[in-house]
Amino acid sequence: MSETLSINDLHVSVEGKEILRGVNLELRRGETHALMGPNGSGKSTLGFAIMGHPNYEVTSGRITLDGEDLLAMEPHERARAGLFMAFQRPMSIPGVKMADFLRHAVSNVRNPERKEGEDLLPMREFRKELRSKMEQLRMDPEFARRYVNDGFSGGEMKRAEILQLAMLRPKFAVLDETDSGLDVDAVRLASQSIAEIGGREMGILIITHHDKLLEHNPPDVTHVMLGGRIVESGGAELAAELHKSGYDRIRAAHPEAAAAEERLAQEEREAAEQFVS
Ligand SMILES: Nc1ncnc2c1ncn2[C@@H]1O[C@H](COP(=O)(O)OP(=O)(O)O)[C@@H](O)[C@H]1O
Ligand SMILES: [Mg+2]
């Protein structure tokens, strides 16, 4: 069976509010898909639901990986099954060095039977692998001695995530706005690095506004999310169109989803007003 991450009619609520309203998406290993859409359309929510974040409640629908029910798995089991997500706003872990963090993460993913505190990947083997990946990504070896995301610039956080991706080598990766807050050169470097390590070996879902990130990762499929649904899918030319012309055409072509988007935005404004008054 070909390796596939499959999402069927997925509905997701956050704090009792329905955000995703029936998402369908099929990502095969070896493919790159771009997920685009205006702010608040539900792109990050889809990523969190795939990873199993507890605040994102799946009310109906299915997510399977190679036919296995992903929704029945805990987040760490999903990681072991071959999923990875790079977050829009990653957490910092002061006191934990990048290298130690990576050694634990890699050990967990490669040895699913491993109990906490046992059988870490041998230091020598791990170091060698880390060094070679950092060289490949043109990263300063010092970087591995810093605390995870602690005081990292936006660019460094993204580099840290790409290093995780290179070390963990998941089957499927969701990269959420790996370009946000980066200058053009940093986005280009990120794009190149993703192409080098992810290449055709992973299934990658790139959530992005920036066609620069797609420069070295031309999407096989581009999806457009609006109001909690994927309203259009196309090729790389669709990503280019959206980057150039924005979402007006999409909103006009999908009035029901545009109305849902407006409803959510309105609710948010009301919640914000309540909060200040
Ligand atoms: N943790 C959360 N708590 C409350 N509302 C949330 C949370 N995450 C997302 N939402 C709401 O879900 C909607 C979609 O957000 P999000 O998935 O972040 O969109 P995108 O990534 O496309 O910008 C927004 O209305 C947002 O306010
Ligand atoms: Mg987002």
CA 268 to centroid of ligand 1, rounded, Å: 10
What 3-state DSSP class applies to 96? strand
Can you tell me the mean pLDDT for 246-255? 96
Tell whether the model's pLDDT for residue 1 goes beyond 60. Answer: no
CA 44 to centroid of ligand 1, rounded, Å: 7
Query: What length does the chain have?
Result: 277
Model confidence pLDDT, tens digit, residues 133-149: 999 888 999 999 999 99
Q: Encode burial over 142-157: b for 16+ CB neighbours within 10 A, e otherwise.
A: ebbebbbbeebeebeb
Domains and CATH numbers, the chain: 4-93+170-276 (3.40.50.300)
Model confidence pLDDT, tens digit, residues 181-216: 778 888 888 888 888 887 678 999 999 877 778 888
37 lines ligand 1 (CB under 6 A): yes
Q: Are strands 172-176 and 147-148 parallel, antiparallel or unpaired?
A: unpaired
- Looking at per-residue pLDDT, the higher value among 169 and 180 belongs to 169
Percent of all residues in the chain with a pLDDT value above 90, rounded to a whole number: 64
CA distance 270 to 101: 41
105 lines ligand 1 (CB under 6 A): no
CA distance 276 to 227: 26
Tell whether the model's pLDDT for residue 89 goes beyond 80. Answer: no
The Cβ of residue 198 has, within 10 Å, a number of other Cβ atoms equal to: 24
Quote the pLDDT of residue 119: 80
Q: What are phi and psi of 23, to 5 degrees?
A: -100, 130
Q: For atom 27 of ligand 1, which residue has the closest CA?
A: 40
> Probe ligand 1: pick from 10, 13, 44, max atoms within 8 Å of CB?
44
Q: For atom 7 of ligand 1, which residue has the closest CA?
A: 14
CA 17 to centroid of ligand 1, rounded, Å: 10
Q: What are phi and psi of 275, to 5 degrees?
A: -65, -40
14 lines ligand 1 (CB under 6 A): yes
Tell whether the model's pLDDT for residue 257 goes beyond 60. Answer: yes
Q: For atom 24 of ligand 1, which residue has the closest CA?
A: 40
Model confidence pLDDT, tens digit, residues 35-70: 999 999 999 999 999 999 999 999 999 999 999 999
Arithmetic mean of pLDDT over the chain: 90
Global pTM reads 0.91
Instruction: Provide the pLDDT confidence category of residue 23 given band limits of 50, 70 and 90.
Output: very high
CA 217 to centroid of ligand 1, rounded, Å: 26
CA 123 to centroid of ligand 1, rounded, Å: 40
Instruction: Provide the pLDDT confidence category of residue 236 given band limits of 50, 70 and 90.
Output: very high
Tell whether the model's pLDDT for residue 244 goes beyond 60. Answer: yes
Quote the pLDDT of residue 179: 62
43 lines ligand 1 (CB under 6 A): yes
Question: Can you tell me which residue has the tokens 């190679």?
Answer: 66
209 lines ligand 1 (CB under 6 A): no
Tell whether the model's pLDDT for residue 239 goes beyond 90. Answer: yes
Instruction: Provide the pLDDT confidence category of residue 177 given band limits of 50, 70 and 90.
Output: confident
Tell whether the model's pLDDT for residue 114 goes beyond 80. Answer: no
From the CA of 14, the nearest ligand is: 1
Quote the pLDDT of residue 178: 67
